Each structure stands twice: as structure tokens, then as C-alpha cells.
């Protein structure tokens, strides 16, 4: 049994390495609809967020929330969030990036969910960065994440106690040669392990 499990893990790792080494044929193609919020929330699902001009890069529109408390960011499809479901290719790594700004300090937080799993939870990401008029101080965050299926849902949550936090220029593109986040690799490995185990069980029948 131990020998079989070791072989399955070894096979899953080998497939993951080959997939990551494969060049992306569509790098640079934007998969997010209305990532700059210039059309309000068109293309987005959201809760507890507002689209406001002056809160984004260069004083443009952005998704904004004044949600207070850790409950704003702790649970999937709960609290204050924006989300989209995008077309992806299983085993391909994608680069999720966005800008964060805040007009105050105290306690703030954002979290990111990818395919139902929280892959980031950041405290005080960009306090006092919003200088209304130019907003040059917005801070960029980027995550390399692997898709497990033909579609992937992602969510970005935010809180700011007691003022406001904003998100702008949300982007997802295929990433050439990028190494995915550990949580993304774990999900893919578990999926591959299950598939290989099922195939082994079928052969024994």
C-alpha cells in the first residue's frame, strides 16, 4: 500500500512539473470583464461593495467598501466581495493582479478566494494610500494560481475599520513559466491523486 501511494504521489508531481513547464499559448489575453470598473459592476457579482469614482487609479472608478470586521473577508460568498467566473484550462497557471488603496488607517484587510479556496489574507495592505486626485499610492498585489477546471471563480473581499478600502485594475491572464501558490498546487495534486487512485482501482476489478 505504501509503495502504491508513493508511486501515485510521484506520478502526480511529474504531471504538475510538465504542466508548469509548458509555455502558455495565450499569455497576455485578459480574462476579466470590466476590471477597471469603468462600467460600474457590469460583469461582476458583488455584495457589500459600491462602485465609486475617485477611489481608483488616477482618480478613476473602483470597487469600494467600508465593511467593518473580520467577517467581511473570512467566508466565501459572504461579507464584502467582488467575484467573477472566468474561462480557464485545467493545469494552467494564471496571474491574478489588482490594486488596493485606503483613505485611512486603523485595521484593514483583504482576502482572495480562488476556486472556492482562500489563497490570501492580508492585514493592513495599503493604509493611507489614497490621495484623492491622483491616487498614485495604490499598491499592487499579484498571485500565480493554477486552474483545476474549464471555469474558475475568484473572489476579492475587503474591510476597513472605520473608513474605506478600494480595489481597481483587476486582471487575470495566463502566466508564462510562473510558479503557482502552494494552495493552488495542493488542490491540483489532490485532484490528480484522486484520479490516479480511481484508475488503479478500476484496473484491479
pLDDT value for 180: 77
With respect to residue 9, please indicate whether it lies within any of the assigned structural domains: yes
With respect to residue 201, please indicate whether it lies within any of the assigned structural domains: no
Could you tell me the residue range of the domain that residue 102 belongs to? 2-196
Cis status of the peptide bond prior to 162, with omega within 30 of 0: yes
CATH number for the domain including 106? 2.60.120.260
| Each residue's pLDDT tens digit, 27-71 | 589 999 999 999 999 999 999 999 999 999 988 999 999 999 999
With respect to residue 202, please indicate whether it lies within any of the assigned structural domains: no
3-state SS, one letter per residue, for 104-133: CCCEEEEEEEECCEEEEEEECCCCCCCCCC
CA atoms of 125 and 7, how far apart (whole Å) = 42
The pLDDT > 90 percentage for the chain reads: 63
User: Model-level pTM?
Assistant: 0.76
With respect to residue 101, please indicate whether it lies within any of the assigned structural domains: yes
With respect to residue 205, please indicate whether it lies within any of the assigned structural domains: no
Domain count of the fold of the chain: 1
Residue 174: closest CA among 95, 85, 98: 95
Amino acid at each position: 500500500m505504501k509503495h502504491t501511494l508513493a508511486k501515485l504521489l510521484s506520478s502526480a508531481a511529474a504531471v504538475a512539473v510538465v504542466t508548469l513547464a509548458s509555455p502558455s499559448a495565450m499569455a497576455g489575453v485578459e480574462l476579466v470583464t470590466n476590471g477597471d470598473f469603468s462600467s460600474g459592476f457590469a460583469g461582476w457579482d458583488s455584495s457589500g461593495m459600491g462602485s465609486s469614482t475617485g477611489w481608483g487609479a488616477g482618480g478613476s472608478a473602483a470597487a469600494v467598501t467600508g465593511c467593518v470586521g473580520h467577517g467581511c473577508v473570512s467566508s466565501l460568498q459572504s461579507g464584502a466581495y467582488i467575484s467573477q467566473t472566468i474561462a480557464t484550462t485545467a493545469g494552467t497557471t494564471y496571474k491574478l493582479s489588482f490594486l488596493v488603496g485606503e483613505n485611512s488607517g486603523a485595521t484593514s484587510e483583504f482576502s482572495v478566494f480562488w476556486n472556492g479556496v482562500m489563497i490570501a489574507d492580508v492585514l493592513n495592505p495599503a493604509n493611507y494610500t489614497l490621495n484623492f486626485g491622483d491616487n498614485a499610492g495604490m499598491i499592487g498585489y499579484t498571485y500565480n494560481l493554477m486552474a483545476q477546471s474549464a471555469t474558475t471563480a475568484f473572489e476579492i473581499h475587503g474591510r476597513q475599520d472605520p473608513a474605506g478600502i478600494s480595489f481597481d485594475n483587476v486582471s487575470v491572464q495566463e502566466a508564462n513559466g510562473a510558479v503557482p501558490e502552494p494552495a493552488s498546487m495542493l488542490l491540483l495534486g489532490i485532484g490528480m491523486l484522486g484520479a490516479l487512485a480511481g484508475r488503479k482501482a478500476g484496473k484491479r476489478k
